[in-house]
Amino acid sequence: MMRLFSPRKTTLLFVIRDKTRTPLENLEPVLREDIQKIWDSVPKPQAHKETPLSEFFNVEVVALSSYEEKEEQFKDQVASLRQRFHHSIAPGGLAGDRRGVVPASGFSFSSEHIWKVIKENKDLDLPAHKVMVATVRCEEIANEKYVSFVANEDWCQLEEAVQSGPIPGFGKKLSSLLDICFSEYDAEATYFDEGVRSSKQKQLQEKLFQLVQPAFQSALGHIRSGTLDKFKEAFDKTLKGGEGFSVAANNCIGSCMVQFDEACTDVVIEQTNWDTSKVREKLLRDIDAHVATVRATKISELTSSYEEKLKQALSGPVEALLDGANSDTWPSIRNLFRRETESAVSGFSAALTGFDMDEETRQKIILSLEDYARGLVEGKAREEAGRVLIRMKDRFTMLFSHDSDSMPRVWTGKEDIRAITKTARSSSLKLLSVMAAIRLDDDDTDNIEKVLAVALVDSSPNSNATRSMTMVDPLASSSWEQVSSSKTLITPVQCKSLWRQFKTETEYSVSQAISAQEANKRNNNWLPPPWAIVALVILGFNEFMTLLRNPLYLGVIFVGFLLIKALWVQLDVSGEFRNGALPGIISLSSKFIPTIMNLMKKLAEEGQNPAANNPQRTPSKSSYNEGHAVSSSASSNLTRLDNGTEYASPLKDE
């Protein structure tokens, strides 16, 4: 009305029936507030955006009493209100200010203006009667067909079945149902306005397409997931057949995408032009993701395989080379490292060619394998460096306690313990210098061995005192010259501490060797001095002549010698006194009585056996046999070492 007519006031009269005790003054503000809200929400032309409600409407509120309770008062109030309508065109009446009233002479012009505004504004142009009928009826037919399609049993079964899996001929079945629905709509709406019929048919199509699109997407989803599963199975089977990774991936992708396109043709709905390219792209992304995952897994397995080969090829040999550390240790390790790394990298690079990757990625993976090999050698070196003190003590013990033929060394008194100790310690120092730093590169040169030799071995108290006054201790540092911290295994300070501990723990072996050598010397000097021998000869001449005149004494002395010799062998007197005089005396005192008893028992048994076998023999012959048996028994228990020291072997009875 605002677009058709100029602004004029219209009275809005609100009549409240059956007024209660609530005063009208309280009801009227609430009603006016609601009307104002309605006015604010109404869309207005640009010229009247800010026009207040009072410019167009006079809002009045009248209250009438209850007819049931106050009939007379109600009738009076109604009669008063009726009079206001009778006099509505009077000044101040219900008809308003009448500013928009057009005189009869201007009616023709006013009507033309109103008609022009209506034609220019479609929302003011009421449709023709047949259009209105066609709109209502076609919409009813479209709704009926939509409801009929939703309730169609074939559609319900198709919709339910497509949720659980792919359906052969899905597109044809659904296209047939939609075609029947659209044909029925056309048959019933054929006599209505063509424009309205086409418009409502299009709306029906949109609603039905929205209804069936989830089922269509489910069918596509089943095709996509099925194709992806087939690709995974075919790809895995092809890889197990030994075909190259890239060739297998490309072949499987090509065949699977052909199968997907054929399957999509089977689910396409004829009435729609829905594009399956997004699902196809999603399938390709999933396939690429699976290929990337398999590629990463295969490369990881391949890398682990070559890393394991490197570990087996490097760990044991490097450990053995470091255990036998010498001047050629690190050159040998370098040669071993290069040979095994080049062999592994060559095979690894050849295996990577089938994975169709860019050169940068390929070089990065190969570099990681080389870094692993270097880290393996360095890790083994650090591990061995942590056990360097044990290795040094083992090497010292091996060289100090064994001769050049690897036989246990017997300290007879002829060995130069000082020279042997120096040789063993020098070899242990060589081991320490080898383990002090990593030397895997050709340009890794240092003077660690020389510094250690000067500071730890080639030093005497006088030279130490002189050097302390003239120069600083070369081992009083936390780093080596020409050696980076990353390649340092044992710092100079640590070397000095390890050497001090090494010397402390090996001094006991040296002192034991010296003690054993001195004890051996004492044991070998069992003869009295020459002057004592001369004195015995001079002073014992008469006794010697007495023995010559009485041969029976010689027999008694010989038997006594045999008995003493047997006791000497059985008690292992020389062996017992090697650990000292007091321990030897205590040990011999505890073994003396059992040994005497054992000899007496042995002599008794030897005496009885000949008597039982030959009782007619003479006593003198029997005595001779007993003495001979004792001599044989005693001599049979003596064993002689290469150096001349005798020791006792156990009897057969024992």
Reading the block at residue 297, the tokens are 């897994």
Residue 274 has pLDDT above 70, yes or no: yes
Confidence (pLDDT) at 147: 92
- Is the confidence at residue 478, as pLDDT, over 90? no
Q: Is 179 domain-assigned?
A: yes
pLDDT value for 629: 35
**The tokens of 447 are what?**
């003077």
E strand or H helix at 62, and its extent?
A: strand 57-63
The DSSP H or E segment spanning 134 is helix 129-150
Alpha-carbon distance of 517 to 90, in angstroms, equals 153
What pLDDT does residue 524 have? Answer: 66
CA distance 577 to 144: 126
In a domain, 625, yes or no: no
The range of the structural domain enclosing residue 94 comes to 10-123
Verify that 425 and 363 share a domain, yes or no: yes
Check whether residue 346 and residue 493 sit in a common domain.
yes
- What is residue 412's predicted lDDT score, i.e. its pLDDT? 77
The rounded distance, in Å, linking the Cα atoms of 512 and 521 is 14
**Tally: H helices and E strands in the chain:** 22, 4
Q: Is the pLDDT of residue 652 over 50?
A: no
Selection from 277, 275, 280 nearest residue 253 by Cα: 280
Q: Which of 76, 98, 123 is the last residue of a domain?
A: 123
**Would you say residue 313 lies in a domain?**
yes
Q: What sign does the dihedral 379-382-386-392 (CA atoms) show?
A: positive
pLDDT, averaged across the chain: 80
pTM here?
0.53
Residues 15 and 113 in one domain: yes
Across 176-196, average pLDDT = 88
| pLDDT band (50, 70, 90) for residue 121 | confident
280 within some domain = no
Question: In this structure, are 327 and 443 located in the same domain?
Answer: yes
Q: For residues 14 and 115, state if they share a domain.
A: yes
Q: Is 644 left (phi over 0), alpha (psi -120 to 50) or beta?
A: left
Point out the domain boundary residue: 595, 616, 633. 595
Segment 594-610 shows an average pLDDT of 77
Are 350 and 260 part of one and the same domain? Answer: no
Would you give the distance in Å from CA 162 to the centre of its chain? 42
Alpha-carbon span 507 to 510, nearest angstrom: 5
What b/e readout covers 190-226, taking b as 16+ CB neighbours within 10 angstroms? eebbeebbebbbeebbeebeeebeebbebbbebbbeb
Q: What is the 3-state secondary structure (H, E, C) of 275-314?
A: CCHHHHHHHHHHHHHHHHHHHHHHHHHHHHHHHHHHHHHH
- What is the sign of the dihedral through the CA atoms of 153, 154, 158 and 161? positive
pLDDT at 103 over 80: no
73 falls within a domain: yes
Domain count along the chain? 4
Q: Which helix (H) or strand (E) holds 14?
A: strand 10-16
Amino acid identity at 425: R
pLDDT at site 36:
92
Query: Do residue 205 and residue 266 come from a single domain?
Result: yes
Pairing type for strands 646-648 and 638-640 reads antiparallel
14 falls in which pLDDT band (50, 70, 90)? Answer: very high
CA distance 610 to 603: 12
Residue 583 lies in a domain: yes
Are both 135 and 109 inside the same structural domain? no
What was the pLDDT predicted at 641?
A: 33
Does 337 or 8 have the greater pLDDT score? 337
Query: Are 485 and 559 members of one domain?
Result: no
Cα separation, 249 vs 60, in Å, equals 84
Residue 7 confidence (pLDDT): 59
- What 3-state DSSP class applies to 455? helix
pLDDT band at 644 (very low <50, low <70, confident <90, very high): very low
Q: Do 99 and 140 belong to one domain?
A: no
Residue, of 633 and 543, whose pLDDT is higher: 543
Query: Where among 123, 146, 171 does a domain terminate?
Result: 123
Kindly state whether residues 134 and 109 are assigned to the same domain.
no
Q: Is 607 contained in some domain? A: no
Give the integer Cα–Cα distance in Å for 414 and 422: 17
Least reliable range by pLDDT among 291-295, 364-368, 390-394, 605-609: 605-609
Cα gap 333→439, rounded to integer Å: 9
Is residue 290 included in any domain, yes or no? Answer: no
Confidence label for 44 from pLDDT (cuts 50, 70 and 90): confident
Residues 6 or more apart whose CB falls under 8 angstroms from that of 97 comprise 8, 9
| Residue 268 near residue 171, CB atoms below 8 Å | yes
For the ranges 91-105, 204-218, 323-337, 610-624, which has the lowest average pLDDT?
610-624
Q: In this structure, are 136 and 118 located in the same domain?
A: no
pLDDT in tens, 223-237: 888 889 988 888 888
Taking the C-alpha atoms of 256, 261, 262 and 267 in order, what is their torsion angle to the nearest 10 degrees? 130
Q: Which helix (H) or strand (E) holds 431?
A: helix 417-435
Q: Which residues contact 207 (CB under 8 A, 6 or more apart)?
A: 142, 146
